[in-house]
A and B are shown apart, each in its own frame.
Chain A
Amino acid sequence: MSAATPATGTALSSLRKLIQRRVSWLPVGAALLILILMFVAGQSYFGRFLTPRLLSSLLVDNAYLVVLAAGMTFVILTGGIDLSVGAVMAFTGMLAAKLLSTGVPTGVVIPLMIASGAVFGLVIGVLVNYFDVQPFIASLAGMFLARGLCFVVSLEAVQVKDTTVLGLQSTKLGTFEWYITPTGIIALLVIVVAAWVLGYTRFGRTVYAIGGNEQSARLMGLPVARTKVLVYVISGVCAGIAGLLFTAYTAAGYSLNGIGTELDTIASVVIGGTLLAGGSGYVIGSLVGVLVYGVIKVAITFLGADSSWTRITIGILLLVFVVVQRVLVARGSRR
Chain B
Amino acid sequence: MRRVLKNRLLWPIGALVALVVVNAISRPSFLSITVRDGELYGSFIDILRNSAPLMLVALGMTLVIATRGIDLSVGAQMAISGAVALTIIKDSPTPNSLSTIAVAVLAGVALTLLFGLWNGFLVAVLGIQPIIATLVLMLAGRGIALLITGGFITTINSTPYAFMSQGYALGFPFAFFVSLGAIVIVSLVVRRTALGVLTESVGINPTASRLAGVRARSITWSLYGLSGLLAGFAGILYSSNIMAADANNAGINIELDAILAVVLGGTSLAGGKFTIAGTVVGVFIIQTLTSTITFLGVPPAVTPVFKALVVIIVCLSQSRRVRQWVRQLWQRLRPAADAKTTATPTQGAVA
Query: Which of A's residues lie within 8 Å of B, judged by CB?
Result: 81, 127, 130-134, 136-138, 140-145, 147-149, 151-152, 155, 255, 263, 266-267, 270, 276-277, 306, 308-312, 314-316, 318-319, 322-323, 326, 330
Contact = CB atoms under 8 A, between A and B. Distances in A.
Interface in B275-317: 299, 301-309, 311-312, 315-316
A306 B151 CA distance: 8
Contacts of B144: 308, 312
A311 B145 CA distance: 11
6 contacts: A131-B321, A148-B303, A148-B304, A151-B299, A308-B142, A312-B144
A306 B126 contact: no
Contacts of A316: 136, 140
Contacts of A152: 302, 305
Contacts of B302: 148, 151-152
B305 A308 contact: no
Residue of B256, B259, B311 with most chain A CB atoms under a 10 A cut-off: B311
A147 B256 contact: no
Contact of A145 (B269, B304, B319): B304
B136 A322 contact: yes
Interface of B is mostly: helix
Contacts of A141: 308, 311-312, 315
Interface residues of B, number: 46
B146 interface: yes
Interface in B114-173: 122, 126-129, 131-133, 135-144, 146-147, 151
Contacts of B320: 132
Given A127-B315, A312-B147, A314-B140, 19 more contacts: A131-B321, A136-B269, A137-B315, A140-B256, A141-B308, A144-B305, A145-B309, A148-B308, A149-B305, A151-B302, A155-B301, A270-B132, A308-B147, A309-B143, A315-B137, A318-B132, A322-B128, A326-B126, A330-B127
Task: For the complex of A and B, list the 9 residue pairs with the smallest distance between their C-beta atoms, beginning with the closest.
Answer: A315-B140, A148-B305, A144-B308, A148-B304, A145-B308, A308-B146, A308-B143, A312-B143, A151-B301
Interface of A is mostly: helix
B129 A276 contact: yes
Contact of B142 (A134, A149, A311, A326): A311
A332 to B, nearest CB: 14
B143 A315 contact: yes
A180 B21 CA distance: 59
A312 B321 CA distance: 42
A314 B139 contact: yes
B223 interface: no
A130 to B, nearest CB: 6
B132 to A, nearest CB: 5
A144 B306 CA distance: 8
Contact of B143 (A138, A277, A311, A330): A311
Contacts of B236: none
A50 to B, nearest CB: 26
A126 to B, nearest CB: 11
A132 B142 contact: no
Contacts of A131: 315-316, 319, 321-322
A142 B132 CA distance: 19
Contacts of A143: 304, 308
B64 interface: no
B345 to A, nearest CB: 19
B250 interface: no
Contacts of A142: 308
B132 A137 contact: no
Contacts of B139: 263, 267, 311-312, 314-315, 318
A137 B269 contact: yes
B70 interface: yes
Contacts of B131: 81, 136
A258 B263 CA distance: 27
A322 B311 contact: no
A306 B308 contact: no
Contacts of A276: 129, 132
Interface in B28-76: 70
A137 B311 contact: yes
Contact of B128 (A149, A155, A309, A326): A326
Contacts of A134: 269-270
